[in-house]
Structure 1
Amino acid sequence: MDSLKHHVLFITVILLMSATMSHAQKTKVVIHNDLGSGLSLAYHCKSGDNDLGYLRLGVGGSGLFRFKPDIFGRTLFFCRFSWINESHYFDIYKQKRDREFEKFGCTNCEWKIRKNGPCKLNKITNMFDVCLPWNS
């Protein structure tokens, strides 16, 4: 009988998690071309489950995508950014980084892509002053 109780409890937990996931708020990632020098920005973003395809932003252009983060904190979107003869990779959304810290966390994540690396909108200062290096 204890085994049956455990199975019922397990199924109840799974159903509650599924209901929570279906109502979870979507996260939005906005990418701004801040390369300057009249350069367009090509980019290709992916996660383990989604390939967003090859996209291009003109000078000063912006693009965005939305998704529901994993309830277990494992969501990762990485992008390859290219211009002229340069190409760099960056984890544009890393749930453990972007959801847990007050200064850095977001559900509306905005990034300016610059030649020396991406800079994220800081929700406290409302400036793009959280700059990170490209992935190594």
Structure 2
Amino acid sequence: MSLAQNPMAPTSFENPNTTVVIYNDLEGSWPMSYHCISKDVDFGIRRMPSGGSWSFEFRPSAAGDTIFLCSFAWRLAYRYFRIYIQERDQESAMFGCKRCEWKIREGGPCQLNKRTGKFDHCPPWDSQLFENN
């Protein structure tokens, strides 16, 4: 099917949709609250049970500047992490993703490594709350 026949197909000027999946992998069966935002979208405060998951889909910016920041809270902990940074997540050959999957753990978020099939890419939590991108 050509692009002319399918008006929903991405053009060379558009990025295809990206999906971010977040899993609650906290020890001790703790539920967590989370709040994910970008400069254009606010998903509101939500709650996820232990072992639960949530996903969202979006089209990254043609300018290459899409960022989603999430805060996570459980028990007495409150953490921040930029769950999607377009420059990081599209340029990385190892972790570049159209479907970015993250397990939230006490020590930090861990991203699914497509080469190993494991959640073994675990950057540290962000140290501060960033302004609305």
CA distance in 2, matches of 1:29, 1:51: 15
CA distance in 1, matches of 2:103, 2:62: 27
CA distance in 1, matches of 2:12, 2:100: 25
Write 1 or 2 for the structure with the bigger share of helix: 1
Q: TM-score, with normalisation over the residues of structure 2?
A: 0.85
Q: Which runs of 5+ in 1 are unaligned?
A: 1-17
Percentage identity across paired residues of the two chains: 49
CA distance in 1, matches of 2:12, 2:40: 20
1:93 aligns with 2:84: yes
Out of 96, 113, 116, the residue aligned to residue 122 of structure 1 is 113
Greater radius of gyration (CA): 1
CA distance in 2, matches of 1:96, 1:19: 18
Measured after TM superposition, the shift of residue 71 of structure 1 is 1.0
1:51-82 deviation per Cα after TM superposition (whole angstroms, max 9, x unaligned): 01111110100000000000111000000000
- Runs of 4+ off more than 4 Å: none
1:3-30 deviation per Cα after TM superposition (whole angstroms, max 9, x unaligned): xxxxxxxxxxxxxxx8733xx3110000
- The letter of the residue matching 1:122 is N
Specify the alignment match of 1:75 in structure 2.
Answer: 66
- The letter of the residue matching 1:135 is D
Specify the alignment match of 1:50 in structure 2.
Answer: 41
